Amino acid sequence: MSRLAPFLVTFLATATIFSLFLLYSPNPFLISPKQGLNDLNSVQNQTSIRAAQKEHQAPDRTNIKLLPPPKKEEECDLFKGHWIPDLRGAMYTNSSCATIPESKNCFRNGRRDRDFLNWRWKPEKCELPRFDPKTFLEIVRGKKMAFIGDSVARNHVESLLCLLSQEENPKDIYKYSDDRFRIWYFPQYDFTLMKLWSKYLIAAEERMVNGSGSGVFDLLLDKVDDKWAEQLPELDYAIFSAGHWFFRLMYLLEGDKLTGCVYCNEPNVTEYNNSQALRMAFRAIFKYINDCKNCKGGLLTLLRTFAPAHFEGGAWNTGGYCNRTSPLSKGEIDLGRFDWELRSIQVEEFERAKKEGEMEGRRFGVLDITRAMLMRPDGHPGVHWGNKWMKGYNDCVHWCMPGPVDYWNHFLMEIIRNEGGLVS
Ligand SMILES: *[C@@H]1O[C@H](CO)[C@@H](O)[C@H](O)[C@H]1NC(C)=O
Ligand SMILES: *[C@@H]1O[C@H](CO)[C@@H](O)[C@H](O)[C@H]1NC(C)=O
Ligand SMILES: *[C@@H]1O[C@H](CO)[C@@H](O)[C@H](O)[C@H]1NC(C)=O
Ligand SMILES: *[C@@H]1O[C@H](CO)[C@@H](O)[C@H](O)[C@H]1NC(C)=O
Ligand SMILES: *[C@@H]1O[C@H](CO)[C@@H](O)[C@H](O)[C@H]1NC(C)=O
Ligand SMILES: *[C@@H]1O[C@H](CO)[C@@H](O)[C@H](O)[C@H]1NC(C)=O
């Protein structure tokens, strides 16, 4: 316990920020989740989307101009590299993208330094192609893609929307519960993009005290979160991420049986740490995907690895800040940090699932962004974010837009280009 104590302080401090960031939003489940999904099905007009998809089942590939895949693919780890100066800057601004949320519109909220936009990711042994909205939309023509996770997953999809809107403005066809469930549709490309909110990916129930949420969760290890699972059969791309909600008091259940806890410190309950709980959650969701009978044969499951926060000089609520204006070098990051442990656990579970799943024809890919983002303490809103009720605290968790978070989509394009089946 004493050995863990300093960790706990960091973990819990990091964790608590999410209760403030996220629980202040209106209750997402005032309408029952079931009802929400029915809405979701009716609003998006499955009939027309299906018809459109059918039409595009065998796309005419002759007019699709895609770059050939890199020659020495196996030698290049896209995610091992460093940031180098690049004066081309960002691919959109707060005027060319209308959908930047206030909380990530750093320039509007007073950020003055702009140099943090002038860097690009350079993998050691190859190049990462710059995002191209046309190419991306050609790859995903007729497909459905969902981002499944917490507010950092939302940040990722918001960046993708800005990047894609430079080519085509999507139709906003579904919005539910304060942005937690969203669907956009790109008519020219018959592409459906979804954001499906899930804090833990597996099923979780918040313990109630006197009729209000306690911030303590029961995690149901043998059940995935229905709210994405019900959509899974429709999807061609499912991008999973999680982690920031695991830094809090949690009880772990299998069936009705309490099998352990995280941070509960009760003598009769087996104590696990948050990494172990994260492992159990990822193992469960990947198993669910490998066992999925009604999923599409071509489903590509992607893991987006843990995104580090960068509080310096304190925790989020004790004056921690993130006011750097340029990236760190390779040598300056600490892979002994808990961020890297969480990332490695996710990757281990991913590799295990991939090995089992690929024998059955399942397809997996990884957006292993942790290392690159450990080098970007300059990418967060810090004091420059719009939510007035958090005044006095810094947001060193989410990411400015535009900003280095856009690189998650440069990676995404490259991964689906090579895994997507269009390039043979
Ligand atoms: C859904 O789309 C189909 C085909 O385009 C159309 O016939 C039908 O009227 C639409 N339904 C609704 C509820 O919009
Ligand atoms: C964009 O950022 C500038 C500062 O760089 C700010 O003055 C302006 O209000 C912002 N515009 C929008 C639409 O957010
Ligand atoms: C719940 O309400 C009861 C009665 O009002 C009160 O005594 C108790 O302290 C409350 N518990 C918590 C955790 O707030
Ligand atoms: C463990 O002990 C606590 C208090 O000592 C009690 O409230 C709880 O019900 C016990 N849990 C189990 C699973 O026995
Ligand atoms: C969590 O527990 C595992 C297994 O005991 C251990 O290897 C790991 O270092 C622990 N992580 C932390 C952050 O304490
Ligand atoms: C960042 O903020 C800290 C604490 O307010 C301050 O001491 C430091 O000088 C700032 N650094 C820069 C580069 O502004």
Residue 331: inside a domain: yes
The pLDDT value recorded for residue 75 is: 75
Domain hosting 327: range is: 88-201+229-240+281-418
First to last CA, the chain: 54
Residue 271: inside a domain: no
Residue 106: inside a domain: yes
Provide the H-helix boundaries in 221-335.
Answer: 226-229, 274-291
Q: Report how far residue 339's alpha carbon sits from residue 337's, in angstroms, rounded to the nearest whole number.
A: 5
pLDDT band at 172 (very low <50, low <70, confident <90, very high): very high
Poorest-pLDDT segment among 85-99, 106-120, 387-401: 387-401
Residue 125: inside a domain: yes
Ligand sitting nearest the alpha carbon of 210: 3
Taking alpha carbons only, the member of 182, 198, 167, 116 closest to residue 406 is: 116
Residue 355: inside a domain: yes
Q: Is 323 in the pocket of ligand 6 (CB under 6 A)?
A: yes
Considering 82, 103, 150, 151, which one is annotated as catalytic? Answer: 151
Pocket, ligand 2, Cβ cutoff 6 A: 94-95, 105, 107-108
Mean pLDDT estimate for the chain = 84
pLDDT band at 71 (very low <50, low <70, confident <90, very high): low
State the distance from the centre of ligand 3 to the C-alpha of 277, rounded, in angstroms.
Answer: 30
The pLDDT value recorded for residue 29 is: 25
Active site residue 395: yes
The pLDDT value recorded for residue 296 is: 95
The pLDDT value recorded for residue 74 is: 58
The pLDDT value recorded for residue 338 is: 92
pLDDT band at 297 (very low <50, low <70, confident <90, very high): very high
- Listed in sequence order, the residues at least 6 apart from 67 whose beta carbon sits closer than 8 Å to its beta carbon are 129, 135, 417
- Mean pLDDT of the 237-257 span: 96
Q: Is 200 in the pocket of ligand 5 (CB under 6 A)?
A: no
Taking alpha carbons only, the member of 308, 170, 291, 306 closest to residue 240 is: 306
- Mean pLDDT of the 280-295 span: 97
Poorest-pLDDT segment among 67-71, 333-337, 377-381: 67-71
pLDDT above 90: residue 147: yes
pLDDT above 50: residue 16: no
Q: For residues 397 and 152, is the Cβ–Cβ distance under 8 A?
A: yes
pLDDT band at 68 (very low <50, low <70, confident <90, very high): low
- Tokens encoding 361: 């024809």
State the distance from the centre of ligand 6 to the C-alpha of 323, rounded, in angstroms.
Answer: 6
Verdict on whether the full-model pTM lies above 0.75: yes
The pLDDT value recorded for residue 422 is: 40
State the distance from the centre of ligand 6 to the C-alpha of 312, rounded, in angstroms.
Answer: 10
- Mean pLDDT of the 350-356 span: 96
Q: Report how far residue 123's alpha carbon sits from residue 129's, in angstroms, rounded to the nearest whole number.
A: 10
Reported as type and span, the H/E element at residue 54 is: helix 46-55
Pocket, ligand 3, Cβ cutoff 6 A: 209-210
Active site residue 398: yes
The pLDDT value recorded for residue 171 is: 95
State the distance from the centre of ligand 4 to the C-alpha of 220, rounded, in angstroms.
Answer: 18
For residue 282, give the 3-state DSSP assignment: helix
Q: How long is the chain?
A: 424
Residue 365: inside a domain: yes
Looking at per-residue pLDDT, the higher value among 178 and 327 belongs to 327
Considering 156, 384, 398, 410, which one is annotated as catalytic? Answer: 398
Q: Report how far residue 298's alpha carbon sits from residue 114's, in angstroms, rounded to the nearest whole number.
A: 41
Ligand sitting nearest the alpha carbon of 95: 2
Residue nearest (by alpha carbon) to ligand 5 atom 14 = 273
Looking at per-residue pLDDT, the higher value among 18 and 221 belongs to 221
Number of domains the chain is built from: 1
Residue nearest (by alpha carbon) to ligand 6 atom 7 = 313
pLDDT band at 393 (very low <50, low <70, confident <90, very high): confident
Q: Is 268 in the pocket of ligand 4 (CB under 6 A)?
A: yes
Residue 268: inside a domain: no
**Furthest-apart CA pair in the chain: how many Å?**
66
State the distance from the centre of ligand 3 to the C-alpha of 210, rounded, in angstroms.
Answer: 6
Instruction: Using most ligand atoms within 8 A of CB, pick from 207, 208, 209, 210 the residue to mutate for ligand 3.
Output: 210
Residue 250: inside a domain: no
402 prior amide bond cis, ω within 30: yes
- What residues does 191 pair with on adjacent strands? 186
